[in-house]
Structure 1
Amino acid sequence: MNFCPSCGAAVELRCPDDDNRLRHICVACGTIHYQNPKMVIGSIPEWEDPEGENKILLCRRAIEPRHGLWTLPGGFMENSETTTGAAIRETLEEANARIAIGDLYSMYSLPYLNQVHLLFRARLLDTGFSPGQESLEVKLFTEAEIPWDEIAFRPIQFSLEHYFADRRKGQFGFHIGEIAAPQTSGEHTALHSTAIFG
């Protein structure tokens, strides 16, 4: 940030009185501009086919970053929106899919991007899905069919790995993790990950 959104004057980075972090402060009007992490909200849309096989709906991205790679439906939470509302909206926008929200399944902090990712388990209400504007295609996958080397984002990769491991165990937990900045291309390392089973 270089200029104050309130008055247009320059801002400087300093620690306000009674604070312990550097903030952008307007040199003219004195407004302190707090910048907080972005919430990325999505769903894990589940479908059981007539043969009883569990599948997950994935979207192939039509936009950058990670154009052409696969992800779960999700995106940035909007102001005045609930977390569950954001998951429902993003799933509808990216996959034209209707879902019933289930439990919160995973939460990953990405401090290097100032982001927190939340994913909810969700029941796909029908198979009338189709690509939204941000998707090249949408498709149901079994665990064996998922293109694991073409997953767009690490929180999605980790959540899917945990999801299928939990499904095999017959018990779903809540997964919390912190993800470090990648040191090399394609690195998939979590700083810390914990599962809570109720």
Structure 2
Amino acid sequence: MSFRPTIKFCCQCGSPVKHAIPDDGDTRVRAICPSCGFVHYQNPLNVVGCIPVTDDGRILLCKRNIEPRWGKWTLPAGFMELDETTSEGAARETDEEAGAQIAMGRLFSVISVPRVGQVHLFYCARLLSESFNPGHETIEARLFEPKDIPWDELAFRTVSTTLQRYLDDRARSVEQVHNIDLL
């Protein structure tokens, strides 16, 4: 499966671009400006998030107040900013979406989603408090016992995959990093 370039105009000079393989030994189609020669590269976006868990094993989920998938449940996550590490971004998103304070743990999953040009990274996190103050992107932040997770109401496959792997690992007392390709 190949990602199709979406750039239509050069960011340097504003001219329409052509989509072709550059003559510099590259092997992928790029947006190339025929006027100034600038080659545009499109790279995946990183989505960073947490699996926030209480000491007694309940998991924090957020009900989305934005599209896509308004009204569906998700782990707190969002796009990484340029000036932060992946774990800093995951902590920021958890604070922004749930108003939750966490102790950051280890990396849990790296999920490539080439169809949409994204890589999702989820960290384990321990909730420091059960007091939440959801931000504008969240209708509700709620703790769930694993048996009560609303599987049919989860927003994204990356979230359901991460939660299922997390619960499987927890049941087996295994700690590992999951590298997953969702095609």
* TM-score relative to the length of structure 2: 0.93
CA RMSD of aligned residues (A): 0.9
Q: 1:99 Cα deviation (Å)?
A: 1.0
Counterpart mapping for 1:44-83 below 5 A = 44-48=51-55, 53-83=56-86
Equivalents in 2 of 1:127, 1:29: separation in Å? 56
Q: Which secondary structure state, in structure 1, belongs to the residue aligned with residue 116 of structure 2? A: coil
Q: Deviations over 1:129-179 (max 9, x none)?
A: 121110000001111111111010001101101111111111222111111
Q: Which secondary structure state, in structure 2, belongs to the residue aligned with residue 106 of structure 1? A: strand
Equivalents in 1 of 2:29, 2:178: separation in Å? 31
Between Structure 1 and Structure 2, the one with more strand by share is 1
Aligned to 1:14: 20
Residue 110 of structure 2 corresponds to residue 103 of structure 1: no
Q: 1:85 Cα deviation (Å)?
A: 0.7
Aligned to 2:3: none
Q: Deviations over 1:55-104 (max 9, x none)?
A: 01000000000100000000111112110110011001100111111010
Equivalents in 1 of 2:87, 2:116: separation in Å? 22
Aligned to 1:41: 48
The count of residues paired between Structure 1 and Structure 2 equals 176
Equivalents in 2 of 1:14, 1:123: separation in Å? 48
Query: Is the CA contact 1:163–1:172 (under 8 Å) kept in the aligned structure 2?
Result: no
Residue 33 of structure 2 corresponds to residue 26 of structure 1: yes
Q: Deviations over 1:102-127 (max 9, x none)?
A: 01001111111111110000111111
Equivalents in 1 of 2:175, 2:157: separation in Å? 20
- Extract structure 1 runs of 4+ deviating beyond 3 A: none
Equivalents in 2 of 1:27, 1:9: separation in Å? 8
Between Structure 1 and Structure 2, the one with more helix by share is 2
Residue 121 of structure 2 corresponds to residue 114 of structure 1: no
Equivalents in 2 of 1:143, 1:126: separation in Å? 19
Equivalents in 1 of 2:127, 2:11: separation in Å? 42
Residue 169 of structure 2 corresponds to residue 166 of structure 1: yes
Aligned to 1:145: 148
Q: Unpaired runs of 5+ in structure 2?
A: 1-6
Equivalents in 2 of 1:85, 1:78: separation in Å? 9
Q: Which secondary structure state, in structure 2, belongs to the residue aligned with residue 144 of structure 1? A: helix
* TM-score relative to the length of structure 1: 0.87
Q: Which secondary structure state, in structure 2, belongs to the residue aligned with residue 84 of structure 1? A: helix
